[in-house]
Chains A and B, each alone.
Chain A
């Protein structure tokens, strides 16, 4: 079956621009996570959705970052006024639920480059 998909796979933008990154989770998965992975580092938690609501957004670095999941399926991570430090791979993961035996399935990531 189809796994988690993310679009675009690569995004190059200029400093100060606005970008949107999309995540299509596995059908039926209620939990969705966004992470940011900088070069040489592990994934850094950004936000967790349970259904349509952001259950934990404590990882968002500042108010330039925002994410939505209006229908409890597709999610969009939005970054305003991009900075060079935002350059990273943005990963999305989904799981059936958020329990001890639920497995996160990761997407391939979107590589964002801010020039």
Chain B
């Protein structure tokens, strides 16, 4: 069965420190992977997708098919990065998305 696991409910780091939000998945096939972010009092929005190999707001995510992971990383966290982050998976036809339970990132000054 398909599953997205985010093992950390809360991650606190100091400004300027590196941050890594973990995401592991299980899926019978080769899914597409995404990271979504929800800032305080804002809507859920796409942060980045694996297929675009992009870096958004300094964040990158590497797909490791051997470990079935798609961890989100940023070398130097900023206070404005404080938000709820969700890892998500979709089959190739994009007819549905499976989300993890989310990690709340708190960047302290």
Contacts and interface: CB of A to CB of B under 8 A. Distances in A.
Interface of A: 3, 31, 33, 35, 40-45, 48, 55-56, 58-59, 91, 93, 98-108
Interface stretch (B13-21, B40-48, B66-74, B75-83): B40-48
Given A104-B46, A106-B44, A106-B45, 15 more contacts: A3-B43, A35-B99, A42-B101, A43-B44, A43-B86, A43-B97, A56-B95, A56-B96, A99-B94, A100-B92, A101-B49, A102-B94, A104-B97, A106-B43, A107-B43
B93 interface: yes
Range of interface residues on chain B?
Answer: 20 to 34
Nearest to B44: A106
B101 A40 contact: yes
A58 B6 CA distance: 23
B93 A98 contact: yes
B31 to A, nearest CB: 11
Nearest to A58: B96
B93 A45 contact: no
B97 A33 contact: yes
A101 B51 CA distance: 8
Contacts of B49: 100-101
Contacts of A106: 43-45
Interface string B86-109: 101000111111111110000000
B43 A108 contact: yes
Given A3-B43, A91-B44, A98 B94 contact: yes
A101 to B, nearest CB: 7
A103 B46 contact: yes
Contacts of A91: 44
A44 B99 contact: yes
Contacts of A40: 9, 101
B52 interface: yes
A107 B9 CA distance: 24
A22 to B, nearest CB: 17
B3 to A, nearest CB: 11
B95 A98 contact: yes
